Chain A
Amino acid sequence: MRTRLLHIVAAAAVVPIGSLNFGLQAQEAQPTPPREPAPFMIAPPSQQPPAARPAEPTPQAGPAPTPAALAIPASFAFKPLLPAARVMLEGENDTRSWAFYLTQDEAGADLNLDIAFQNALVVMPEASRLTVRINGERIMEAPIASSDRLKRTSTTIRKGLLRPGQNTIRFEAVQRHRTDCTVASTYELWTRIDGAGTRLSFKNPAQQSRLRSIDDLPAVGADESGQTTIQIVAPGATRAVAANSILAVAQGVALRGRYSQAAVRVSERLPERIRPGVLTVLLGTAKEVRELLGTLPSEAGSGSFLGFIANSRLGPATLLVTGESWPDIEATVAKFLTGPVSRPTNTNRKTMDTSSWHIPDAPFISDRQMLRFSELGVSTQESSGRRMRVRAVIAMPGDFYANAYGEATLYLDGAYSEEVLPGASRVEIFVNGNVAATVPLNAANGGLFQQSPIPIPLRHFRPGINEIWFEAVTQARSDLACGPGATLPGKNRFALFDTTTLAIPDFAKIGVSPNLAAAAGTGFPYSIAAHVGLLMGRQDLPNLGAAATLLARLAQRADRPLPIDILGSAATVGDRPALIVGAAGQLPAGLLPRVGIADNVRNTWPQRADAVVVLPETEGAAVFDAVINRFQGRQTTPEDSGGGTPTTEAIRDRWRGSLGGPLARYFISFDRWLQRTFDLSFAQLRAPTRAPTLYEPAEGAELIAAQATDPDTRQVWTAFVVRQEETLEKAMDRLVTPGNWAGMAGKLTAFRNGQDNHVISADSTTFVMTRAFSLANMRLVFANWMSSNIGIYALTLLGACIGLGIGTFLMLGRLGRRS
C-alpha cells in the first residue's frame, strides 16, 4: 500500500513538459554499461555457427571481396537495425516493433541477424525470454540471462523471408523478477537492446550492392546510434544560388528516406571516409561534378540527372544531382525528388510516418474519430503479470486546440480475474508520460468491461505525435505472500481485447502562435505556408548544414517539403512565416528581440564560461527512448533512483510547505488539496502579465528555440539560436533527435546540458484561422480558450447572468399583469 501511494505521489509530481533531456543524462536512472567499443569495427562475416560465436568479436580480416564494380568497405558488412543507440524493453511484457528497408540486392543476400542485449540483474532468467520476429516470423528466442555483460547472438535468416523495401522487426520481452512480487519491482525489469551489436550482417559483403532508384532511399538505413547522415557534397555550396537546391535536396531525401534522425552536413569536398548510415549526395553543375570526380559518371549522361551512381570511392549510397546550370538542377530536384511528395496544403494526411520507430504509422486525427486498438497495432492479449502495458501512437494536427477542455473516451473492452485484489489494482492511461485517467479495479470477484467508457482529458495531448500507454496494474493475494516461484507467470489476471476503442471527439481546431509544440509536431504553421523565409546567421557551410537539418526534420513532420526563400535580411521577410537559424553571435542586431530574446545575448552568451560538458556524439540518439525514460524516472521511488536530483518544482514545493504561519500553511494545504483533486491552483487565477520580458539564457543553455508573431507582418517567426558557432551543427543534430524535438513547447524552449529543458509558455497568443469558419468549431475554440482563461469565463458568465436578470426584470415588468 505504501509503495502504491508513493507511486501516485511520484506520478502527480511530474512536470508535464520539459523533462526531456538535451544531452547525456538520459540513461542516468539506470546502471550505465561500459561504453561500447568504437562503432566502426571491422567485423568478420560470421563463419562460425551462431552458438559458438564468441561474445567479443575478434577483429579479423574477411576473405578478399570478389572483384566487383564496386569495392565495398568492410564496415558495410553490417546494416544496423535500431532506430537509436539502444532500445529498452521494460516491465514484465514489452514489445517494440519498427520497420527497416532493404534494397533488392540486400533482400536476396545471405544474412544473419545479430542481436546484442543486456538486462537488469533482477530479471529471472528461467522465466524471462526475448523473442525477435522479422516480418512476423519468429527468428530468435533466447532466455534473458545476461546481466553482467552484453550478450550477443546471431541467427541465420531464412532465404525469402526478407523482401525488398519495407520489412518489420519486432522485439518481444517477457520478464519476471527474481524475488519481488510488488508492482514497484516491475519497474526494475529491463532489457536493453544495443544499437551497435544489433544488425543484419552479410555473410558475403560482396553480395550486397548499391542503391538503384530513388525509392531505395530508405534502405540507406542508419548508423549504430540510429542517425542517418546526409552528406551533401556541393562544390558551389557557398554561392547563394546553390543554397535553394541544397535545402530542397535535404528535405526531399529526408522525407522520402523516412529516417528517424537525419543530420545534414554540407561540404565542398568529398568525405574522407564512408560508413553505414551515410548518404552522400553529389550536388552541382556538370562542370563542378566533373571537377570534383575528375570525370562525370556515365549515368549522368550529358544533361540533368538525379539518381544513384556507382562509385568506388563514395560507397554504395551515392546520389548524384546535376544539371547544366543551377536553375536546371532546381527543376530536376523539383521534378524527381520533391515533386512526388509535395502534398497540397489543403488536404489532410491520414497517417503520420512513425515507421522508423513504431509501426503501424500513427493515424492522423483531424476530426472526430473512433480508433480500435486493432488499428493501433494493439492485439488482444492476456497478462499474468502485475503490470500490463500497451502502447498506441496517434497524431494530432498542428491546429489542435483542445488541451484545456477536451476529453477523449476510451471504450474499454477487457476483463480481470477474481484473483485481482481490489484496492491495489487499477487501470491507468498515460498520455505522453502523464497520468490522464485512473480506473480502480475494485470488484472483489473480477470484472468485465464492455465498452466501458473512460474519460481521458486531452490536456497532455499536443500537435504531432502522441504516445498513449494503457497500463493495467493488477495485484493478487499471492503477491502479498510472495512465496517461492510466486513471480513466475501464473494465471491470467487481465485481458485486453482489441475491440477497445479510443474515441476522439470533434475538437477545437485553430492555429495558435507562438506554440513551438505545433512547430515541432507538424511543422505548423510552416507546413501550410506557401513560402517560408529562412534567415541564416551566415551563408556558410555549418549554417547551411544546420538549416538543412532543421528543414529536413520540419519537412518530415509536415509531410511535405517546405518552399524555402533564403533571405538576406530581416527586412525582406515580408508576408511569409520565417525561420531563423544561427549562432547567437552571427545574428544581426535587433533580430532576437523580435522573437523574445534579449539583444545583448548576442554578445554575452557565447562568451559565458559555462561548465564545459563533453557530449558524446551518439548519446543524443539515446533520447529516442526519452519518453519511456521519463516515464520510468517518474515511476521510480526516491530510494530506487539513488537520490537523483529532485526537480526545482519539488524543492520549491517542499520549501513552500514548510514556511509561513499556521494560517498560511492552512492556505497552502488547501491549495495543495485543490491541486491534487482538481489540478487547480490559485496561481491559475492570476492575471497573465502583459509586460513582455526578453529572455536571457539561464546557466547551461546551449540552444534556444523561440517563436513569436511579428507585430508588423503578423507572421510567425521561429528562431533556433545556438550559443557558439563551433557547435552549430552538433547542437542542431541533437535538437532533431526525437526526444529533444518533442520537448519543444511554449513560446521559448531553452535546451540545457544536463538539465531539464526550460520551457516558457506563451503569455499572449494570437490565433490563426486554419479552416473554413464554422460555428461548431468556434464554439469549441471558445470552450478551450475559456478553460484556459478561467477568470474571464467566470466574469463573462457573471456578466451574462446579470444581463439575464436585468432582462427578465424588464421583460416581466412589461408582461402579464402589472402591479
Chain B
Amino acid sequence: MRTAIYVIFWAIATAVVVALITLPISLQAHLIAGTIVVGAMILLKFLRPYGVWRLIALGLGTAMVLRYVYWRTTSTLPPINQLEDFIPGLILYLAELYNIGMLFLSLFVVAMPLPRRKTAPPIAADAPTVDVFVPSYNEEPELLATTLSAALAMDYPAGRLTVYLLDDGGTDEKCNADNFVAASAAQERRAALQKLCDGLGCTYLTRERNISAKAGNLNNGLANSSGDLVVVFDADHAPARNFLTETIGYFGEDPKLFLVQTPHFFINPDPLERNLKTFKAMPSENEMFYGIIQRGLDKWNASFFCGSAAVLRRTALQTTNGFSGRSITEDAETAVTLHATGWNSVYVDKPLIAGLQPATFASFIGQRSRWAQGMMQILIYHRPMLKSGLSLPQRLCYSSSALFWLFPFVRLTFLVAPLCYLFFGLEIFTASGAEFIAYVFSYMAVNLMMQNYLYGRYRWPWISELYEFIQSVYLLPAVISVLINPGKPTFKVTAKSEELGTRRISELGLPFFIIFAVLALGVVATYWRIITQPYNADTTLVVGLWNILNLLMAGCALGVVSERPEGRGARRFPVRRRGQISIDGRTAPIVTENVSVDGVAIRVLSKDFDKLPVNSTGEIAFETSIAMPAGTLPVRVVRLAPDAKGLVLGCRYEPSEPLHSRIIADLAFSDAGIWSSFQKARRQNMGVIYGTLRFLRLAIFQTSRGLSYFFGLARLSRSNPGRRAAE
C-alpha cells in the first residue's frame, strides 16, 4: 500500500517536472533557471551528497538534461531540405540521444545501489558439495598451479570440495591434430597438467573436441561432475581462502538462487593504467562496474555472471542444459536465460579472487572486442527489452549492459562532428552563440556532475571517455561486423600474462596517430577560419573548443598505445609471516615484508646475510595459514636492500613441484582483506574541477610522451643503464 502511494507520488512529481521542462519558456528563463538548478547541484555536492540529497541532486540534473533534450529536439536540427547538413546533423543528434538514453538507463540502475552485504549467511551443517572448475586453454602450468593451489586451499568442510582443471588445450582433437608440432605440444601439455593435478590433488578433465569454446568446456565439466554447486575460476583467477565461506551461504537462503557473483580484482595494471602510470592512484576501470553497477543490478535482481569468480547452482544450470554457448559471452547469456526463467542472483561486493588482466594494448582490445561482440549477440538473439520472463527492471538492466557497447558509434561521431564544420563548413547544429552557452554548457556541466554523483569514487572525470575513445577505433568494425552477421564472431582466449620487455608503440597504435594528426589539422583549420572569417568567430571558437577536447583525448590515447616496458610487474601486497631462510647451509629467521605471485620481499633478522651475492639461491619455510604438508620454497635472491632496521632481500620464487605452488598460493592469496584495502586507498572522489585539471595535465604529458615515442626519441633514453637495472 505504502509502495503504491510512493509510486503515485513519484509519478506525479515526474509529471510535474516533465510539464515544467517542456514548457516552451524563453532562453532567458532557461538561463536563469538553469543557473539556479546547477548552483543548487553544486551546493548539494558540497554539503551532503548522500542518501536523499544525492537523489535530489540527480533529480535536478535530470531536469537540466531533459531541458537540453527538449531544446535540442525542437530547435537545433538543421532544416531537412539541406541534406548535407541534415544527415550529419541527425546522426549527431541520434548519438547524443543515445548518450542521454544511456545516462537514464544507468540512472535507473545505480540510483540507489544495494549497499555491501555486511556478513555472509552461515553455511548449513550439511554443506552442499562444490565443484570448482578452472577452464584452461593455453595457460602455462605454473599459472595453473597457483590457481589450482589457491582453489584447493579454500576453507570448506573436508570432502565436499572438488577442484577440476578443465583443459581445452589438451583435447583429443588437439592431440591428434594434423600439424605434428601442435599435436605433440598438446600431448605434452596434457601429460604435464595431468601430473600437476595428481600432485596437487585435483582432477584433470579434457574432452574429445573443442566445440562451443569455454561454454562447451564448462559443460563437459558439468557432465563429468556431480556437486550441488559449481564454482568457476578463470585460469589466472586465484581465489582467497574465504571465497566459499563468503558465498555459499546464500544458496541456503534462497532455493531459487542460481548465481553468487564476486568482483574481479586485478593485481596487474591494464595497458592504460600501466602506460599512464595511474594504477596506484586511480580506481581501475572495472571498479566502476564491480564497485557500483553490479550493486545497482543486484538491487533489481539482475547482477549477472561474469565468467569467473562466481558460484552457480547445478540444478539451475541443468534447466538450460548447462552454460549457453550461442554467443561468445557465455556468462551473461547464461545469466539472462536463467533470470528469464525465474532464477535469482546475488552479488557479493568483496574482492575474493585476484586475477590478471591483459597487459598489452592489443590483447586488451582483443578482450574488449569479444565482450562487445558477445553483448551485441545477446542484444540480437535475446532482445533483453522484450524477453519474456524478465521483470521490467531486469529488462532495463540487461538493455543497459548490452546497449552500452554501442558506444563506438557515438564516440566516433563526436570525434568527427566538429571536423564537419572546421573542414567543410557544414552547419549541423543550428544554434546561436547565446543559446549554445545557455544550453550546451549547462548540459555539459550537469552531465559531468551527474557522472560524478553516480560514480565519483569509482571513476575520475573524463576517464570513461578516454577508455571509450581508445576502444572505439577497433570496436567499431567489430560491432558492425556482428550487427551484419551475428553468428560470425568466435571465441578467442585473451592472453594475460604477457611480458613487455622494451618500449614500443603498440601494433594497433597507428590509427591513433593518424587521428591525432587529423584533429591537429582541425586546430589549424580553426585558426584559419578565425583569421579568414572573423564574422564567424564565435561559432568557430565553440566548435574549435570541442575539437581541442577531442584532441586532448586523442593525445592521451597516444600515451596509452606507447607501451612502457614492465616486467611481470604483479602488484605486491603487504603480508606478514614469520619463517626462516636457509642459504648455503646458513639459516636465519625472517619476516615477510610484501608478497606477490612472482616473488617475496623478506626481512632477514640476522647480520650474517649482509654480503650475500645477488642471484644466490636458497629455500624459505613459512608458517602456513592452513594445514598442508610442511615444505620449503626455493627462491632466487634478485636484490639486496639494506636499510636502518636490517636487510631486506628481494626474492623470486623458483617453484618446481606442486607443493611449492601451494605454498605460494597460501602466501599470496590467503587474505582477501589486503585487496579490499588496496582498492579502498584508490577510491576517493576528487571532484569535477580537480579531476578535469588533472586530466588536462595527464593529456598534455601523455601527448608529448606518445609523440616522442613516435618520433623515435625513446631510443635515445633506452640506453640509460640505471633503468635497465631497475627492470
Interface residues of A (CB under 8 A from B): 404-407, 422-424, 440, 442, 450-453, 455, 457, 677-680, 684-685, 779-780, 782-783, 786-787, 790-791, 793-798, 800-817, 819
Contacts and interface: CB of A to CB of B under 8 A. Distances in A.
B430 to A, nearest CB: 8
Q: Which of B19, B36, B301 has the most CB of A within 10 A?
A: B36
- Label chain A's interface by main secondary structure: helix
Contacts of B389: none
Interface in B230-267: none
Nearest to B74: A407
A805 B60 contact: yes
B56 A805 contact: yes
Contacts of A814: 2-3, 6
B13 A451 contact: no
A685 B112 CA distance: 36
11 contacts: A423-B533, A680-B28, A779-B19, A793-B20, A798-B60, A800-B16, A809-B112, A811-B3, A812-B55, A814-B3, A817-B299
A682 to B, nearest CB: 10
A790 to B, nearest CB: 5
A678 B82 CA distance: 28
Interface stretch (B141-149, B334-342, B433-441, B512-520): B433-441
Contacts of A679: 27-28
B536 A810 contact: no
A404 B23 CA distance: 12
Contacts of B535: 422-424, 440, 442
A680 B438 CA distance: 12
A780 B22 CA distance: 10
A808 B59 contact: yes
Nearest to A459: B26
- Label chain B's interface by main secondary structure: helix
Nearest to A403: B26
Contacts, number: 177
Contacts of B393: 815-816
A591 B326 CA distance: 88
B28 A787 contact: yes
A796 B60 CA distance: 12
A794 B28 CA distance: 11
Contacts of A787: 25-26, 28-29
A775 to B, nearest CB: 10
Contact of B27 (A678, A780, A807, A810): A678
Nearest to B32: A790
B386 interface: no
A460 to B, nearest CB: 13
B114 A817 contact: yes
Contacts of B14: 804, 807
CB-CB nearest 5 A-B residue pairs: A805-B56, A423-B535, A807-B10, A805-B59, A804-B59
B32 A801 contact: no
A450 B433 CA distance: 23
Interface string B638-663: 00000000000000000000000000
A797 B63 contact: yes
Nearest to A443: B425
B28 A802 contact: no
B585 interface: no
Nearest to A457: B26
Interface size class of B (residues with CB under 8 A): 35 or more
A807 B13 contact: yes
A814 B3 CA distance: 6
B455 interface: no
B24 A798 contact: no
Contacts of B115: 819
B9 interface: yes
B32 A685 contact: yes
Interface string B58-98: 11101100000000000100010110000000000000000
Contact of A780 (B24, B434, B534): B24
A798 B37 contact: yes
A404 to B, nearest CB: 6
A790 B33 contact: yes
Contacts of B114: 817, 819
A790 B29 contact: yes
Given A684-B32, A807-B14, A808-B111, 18 more contacts: A455-B75, A680-B32, A793-B23, A793-B33, A794-B32, A794-B37, A797-B33, A797-B37, A800-B20, A801-B37, A804-B10, A806-B55, A807-B13, A808-B10, A810-B9, A811-B3, A813-B6, A816-B299
A424 B81 CA distance: 26
Nearest to B116: A819
Given A450-B82, A786-B25, A794-B32, A811 B7 contact: yes
Contacts of B40: 798
Contact of B536 (A442, A678, A817, A819): A442
Contacts of B81: 450-451
B666 interface: no
Nearest to B25: A787
A1 to B, nearest CB: 9
Nearest to B2: A814
B44 to A, nearest CB: 9
A795 B36 CA distance: 8
A806 B56 contact: yes
B534 to A, nearest CB: 7
A591 B565 CA distance: 93
A801 B59 CA distance: 5
A679 B32 CA distance: 12
A450 B9 CA distance: 48
Given A786-B23, A810-B10, A811-B6, A801 B28 contact: no
B52 interface: yes
Contacts of A407: 24
Q: Which of B9, B59, B298 has the most CB of A within 10 A?
A: B59
